[in-house]
Amino acid sequence: MERIGFVGLGAMGGPMASNVARKGFALNVYDRSQEAIGRLAALGAKAQRSVAEVAQASDIVVTMLPDSPDVAEIVLGPDGIAAHGRKGQIVMDMSTIDPTTTDRLARQLAKQGMSFVDAPVGRLVSHAIKGESLFMVGATDADFARVKPVLDAMGTTVIRCGGPGAGMRMKLVNNYLAIVSCQMTAEALALATKLGLDIRTTLDVVNGTTATNGHLKGAFPSKVLAGDVAPGFRIALAHKDISLAVNAAHKAGAPVFTGAAAREVLALAMHDGDTGAKDFSALLEFASKLAGISTPRL
């Protein structure tokens, strides 16, 4: 069985690494948070003192980090995986980052005889906790065969999208739809409330037509409409991800008018008090504030 390293044990990384540990893999972990490391050590993972130690002790090193610069530093920095890894090792990044960074990492690691797999995550923290994540994977045939057992330990759906870089590009498309539809859902429910409509009746109607979406059926009723805006996926991260998608579209020459507008709204929400730290379903709170109404609840 491959020895697995995991760097980044945050809201998504922690639950995913926990499932790897529970499935019996030899797991080496590192995070800046000693508390996060301790939680994994309690499940049998070996706590390492640095990224270098994780790289030296693992055959496949997984990274789950906030943004492109973080991943580049952990992989290519002087104390990173490439500097302390070895030929034949796989680095599997599960973060959501700029695909040009993904391409650069793949090229640099290949020069050292190492492989790169991009396997960003679909679905939410609640799914990661239950081991029900979806992964969109960019990898060669051989590398995909090696990482699939690890992905199966963390999720229920593993989809290979193509070679290295394809997974990250698919994630931008997925998040574009998810974030834009979240903003549209927030506006629609605020409008319904402003027009004096009952929110439960509104959901009954729209969920019975083609207007429905995952936010209306699941995320909003269980989060913001229930008064819960604790971050599963923070508005600040949603802004980062929609920006990545819009920027990639601009480079590719693809028009994304709705996405550009949604990005501007998320930028405003992100800087509105502590809104940026809330779950992205809290866009309904921001839309309600702008409409001069109380946030509807079920």
Which among 144, 163, 182 is the end of a domain?
163
Residue 55, amino acid: A
Give the model's pLDDT for residue 240. 96
Instruction: Judge whether 46 counts as a catalytic residue.
Output: no
If asked whether residues 283 and 206 sit together in one domain, one would say yes
Residues 45, 13: Cα–Cα separation, whole Å: 14
If asked whether residues 182 and 207 sit together in one domain, one would say yes
Q: Which of 23, 46, 130, 171 is catalytic?
A: 171
If asked whether residues 140 and 29 sit together in one domain, one would say yes
Output the domain CATH number for residue 175.
Answer: 1.10.1040.10
Within a domain: 297: no
> pLDDT, tens digit, for every residue of 144-171?
999 999 999 999 999 999 999 999 999 9
If asked whether residues 157 and 175 sit together in one domain, one would say no
Greatest Cα pair distance, the chain, in angstroms, is 64
Within a domain: 243: yes
Which among 163, 192, 213 is the end of a domain?
163
Q: Please tell me the pTM assigned to this model.
A: 0.94
Work out the pLDDT band at 274, boundaries 50, 70, 90. confident
Model confidence at 1: pLDDT above 90: no
Output the domain CATH number for residue 35.
Answer: 3.40.50.720
Domain that holds residue 223: 170-291
Within a domain: 298: no
| Count of domains observed in the chain | 2
Q: Which residue has the higher pLDDT, 162 or 126?
A: 162
Within a domain: 296: no
> pLDDT, tens digit, for every residue of 199-241?
999 999 999 999 999 999 999 999 999 999 999 899 999 999 9
Contact 129, 152 (CB under 8 A): no
Residues 159, 148: Cα–Cα separation, whole Å: 10
If asked whether residues 177 and 73 sit together in one domain, one would say no
Query: Structure tokens of 267?
Result: 């930028």
